[in-house]
Structure 1
Amino acid sequence: MSSSGDGTPPNRRIGEIAAMVSAITAVIGLLLAVFGVPFVGGSSAHRTIAGGAETTPASSTSAPAETHTPGSPAATIEPSTAPSASSQPSVSSKPSPSAVPKGWHRVSEADLTVAFALPDGWIQRMKNDIQSNWKSPDDAHDMSVKRDTSYGSTALEASAGQLAWYRDTGKSSMADLEVVTHPTQQNGQSALWLEIDYHWVRQREPRKRVELFVAGQAGHVYQLLFDTAASSEKLARQRQMFATARAHLLIDWSAPS
C-alpha cells in the first residue's frame, strides 16, 4: 500500500478528514439548534437593520410591541397604560361651565354662541349680531366679547385685521399704538393674546387694552377684551379680570336643551 508524502497511509488520511467533517457538521447543527434563524445583514427576527429596535405599530407608541403567536393568549394591557373608554373625553361632548368665583356671574349670549363670566354689577352698554359690550359700575373698565368673520378664520388673520382697524385713527379714535403679541392656548386651540398701549385722540391719558383672539367653528374668530386707563391699580384689576374671564370663556357654546 502506498503512503502519502508524510508517510501516513491514504486510508487513515481519509478517515481523519471524515471525522473532521463530522465534527464540523455537529457544531453547525448545535448552533442552529440554539440560535434558530441566523443573522441577516445585522438584523435578527423582529428587528430592523437600520435602528436595531423592535418595530412598533403606529397605534402603540407608548409601549413596546408584543409578539402574539396564534393560539396563545393575547397580551393584556394594564389599566394604568390603557384607561377605560368611559374615562376618555368624548369628541362630540361640549364642556360644562365651571363654577365662577364669588362676586362673578355667568352670561350666555346664545346668538353669539358664547358663554362668559363677568363681575357682578356690570352693565351691558351695547349688543348687536357680532358683539356684546359691558362696562363696570364705576365706568373704569370696559369689556367686550365679539364673534366675527371679517378679517379671516384664524387668530393671526383676525388680530392683524383688527389691529389695522385700530391704527386707522379716523375710525377707531385710537392713537400711538404699541402692541405686544403673545402666542397662547385657549379652549384647546392656538390663540393670540395682545397687549395694546395707546391713548384716545385729543387725550393724553395712557390706556391699556388686553385682547384675546381664538378661532371657533364655521370660520368665526372670537375676541375677548378688557380696556382701562393705565394706572397701576386699574392695570392690576384688569389683569385679574382678564385671567378670570379667560378661564370661564366657552366658545361655540349652546345652552343644554
Structure 2
Amino acid sequence: MGVVNVTPDSFSDGGRWLDADAAIARGRRLVADGADLVDVGGESTRPGATRVDEPTELERVVPVVRELAADGVAVSVDTMRASVAAAAWEAGASLVNDVSGGRADPEMLQVVADAGAPFVVMHWRAHSASMQHADHTHYDVVVTDVVRELERQVADALDAGVRADRLVVDPGLGFSKTGEQNWEILASLEAFAALGHPLLVAASRKRFLGELLADGDELRPTDGRDDATAALSTVSARAGAWAVRVHEARPSADAVRVVARLGAQA
C-alpha cells in the first residue's frame, strides 16, 4: 500500500503532493514501483495535527481518487469522515482506510456496510491533537490491551453490518503509543494476525524509526528511514501481514518478494 498525502502538513512529505496533478503522478509512480494499492488521504494524522474541514478534505481527495481509479489503480481512501468515504467510493475507491476504525464519525460504519466496502479497522483512542497524552498511551500490557480494544472495534463494525470478509485490522503504530510500545507490538504481530482478519502494518518512516537511527539527539530525517521501513516490511510479511503501508513502494515490494520466495521453499 503506497501512500499519497494530499496535504500540506503530513509528517513525512507534507506539501509535496498537495497539487492534484502531482498527487496523481505520485500514485502512478508508486504503482510502477510495485504498490498494489494507493492510499490517498487529505488530512494529516501526525501527532499534534488539527483537523481540516470537510470541504477541504473532499476537494483534496476526490479528484485524485477519481483519476487514479480511472487508470485502473486500486485506490484506498484514508479518511475518518463518512462523507469523504462515500464520495471516494463513488469516485472509484476500492477500500476505506479509517485510522479511527469507525469511532471518529458515527455514520462511517453504516456507510461502509451499505457500500459493501472493504474497511480497515485501526486501533484508535483519540484524535491526533491529543493522542500522545499520557492518559491515552497508558496500557497494562500493550499487546493484550490493543488486541482486546481492536476486538471491540471489530465487533462494532460487524454489528453495524460490515461483512467479516471485508474487514482488515491495523494495530495503529504511533497512534496513542510510545516508541517502546510500537516495538512491543511489532514483536508480537502474530497476536494481531490471530484476530482472523487480514493485517495491515503501517510503520513507514515513523518517529520511533527516527529515534532508533538517531545521530545523538538528532532524529534521522524521515526520508532516511526507508531502509528501516523495508526491514519492518520483511518482519511484517514473515508474520503473515496482508499489506504494509509505505511511503516508498520499491524497497518494501522487493522485501515482500524475498519473503514470498523463501516461503515457497518451506
**TM bucket normalised to smaller:** under 0.3
Structure index of larger Rg? 1
TM value normalised by structure 2: 0.26
TM value normalised by structure 1: 0.27
User: Whose RCO is larger (CA < 8 A, sep 6+)?
Assistant: 2
Structure (1/2) with the larger strand percentage: 1
